[in-house]
Amino acid sequence: MNGKNAPRVGGLPAGKLDTICDVPGVTVGHATLDAGALQTGVTVIRPHAGDPYRDKVPAAAAVINGFGKSIGLVQVEELGVLETPIALTNTFGVGTVANAQIRDAVRANPQIGREWATVNPLVFECNDGYLNDIQALAVTEAHYGQALAAADRVFGQGAVGAGRGMSCFSFKGGIGSASRLAGGFTVGALVLANYGRKPNLTVAGRPFGRWLREMEGRLDSGPEKGSIILLLATDAPLDARQLRRLAVRAGAGLARTGSVYGHGSGDIALAFSTAYTVPHLAERGMPTPQLLHETRIDPLFEAAAEATEQAIIHALWHAVTVRGRDGHVRQAITEAIPDWSAWLTSGPP
């Protein structure tokens, strides 16, 4: 099933690609491991084509539920900038990928950690241990390099990169992306979707999970204990404080799909702007951008919620069925519910 045929949510227009790469300068790349019990990978999001250490972008994060093992968030909160690409991987791959980010930054800037300050790697994770043999520690530094080298405006979604082994509402989840245009600007979302209780699944406002419960009888998938990483990019000139406000609105899109941010779910959002950069070297001076007035930010909030909800749907609809460790299987939603389009208009038969 082509993800372009996925349900459409909201009323705002999308960008040409309907991905985060509709925001100028943003690119995405994957390295995918698909070998029996090893179903995992790395996804990299580059905020621009230059050196993010020398030319940082403003950013901020919002922790919706903190059951996660990410690295780098403390400095992002303190300084309000990104200085490496953003990396996504599985829980046990965080340290390895962070090392790869550090080595890559030092190769480009040998002064790091000596004449200059150290670098802040930024890695987010979800636990893909149901499908992937996470104890094998299969992700290597080379996989980060492959994903970084593959970064492009056009990229795969679903069961690719860091999304290869992820589950969503007991179906196959993974990488999803979307964009919305509002207020003269673009807001793009990319998610690593690995969360949700099947009975709660809501698609474009329709109670798919409740219908499945009625069709299948008692349907209880236990407590919500997955995670989702929510990334937002925009070309609107926002500072770190405003970007944190934008990141919080990703939670609205997440809730529309049926998440209640359960106890065991790590739900973290990060937003960044490509409208300007902050130079590492003090002699280059600080930028003085004309920031968006606070009273004009509501359209971006709406775009953030819509793009996030759409990105999650794209993650589900792009995904293919994957068989992983110990015979575990996650079925693609398009295979499990082949007549899903009829459900959107008239409900299940």
Catalytic residue status for 170: no
Q: Which of 70, 227, 259, 273 is catalytic?
A: 227
Question: d(Cα 100, Cα 209) in Å, to the nearest integer?
Answer: 40
Q: Which of 235, 259, 267, 273 is catalytic?
A: 267
The CA-based angle 316-65-69, given to 5 degrees, is 85
Catalytic residue status for 70: no
> In 3D, which of 223, 94, 107, 106 has the Cα closest to residue 162?
94
Question: d(Cα 77, Cα 75) in Å, to the nearest integer?
Answer: 5
- Burial class of 275 by CB neighbour count within 10 A (0 to 12, 13 to 18, 19+): buried
Encode burial over 199-222: b for 16+ CB neighbours within 10 A, e otherwise.
Answer: bbbbbbebbbbebbbeeeeeeeee
3-state secondary structure of 89: strand
Q: How many CB atoms lie within 10 A of CB 291?
A: 17
Catalytic residue status for 267: yes
The CA-based angle 74-78-83, given to 5 degrees, is 75
DSSP string, 227-267: EEEEEEEE-S---HHHHHHHHHHHHHHHHHTT----TT-EE
Catalytic residues: 227, 265, 267
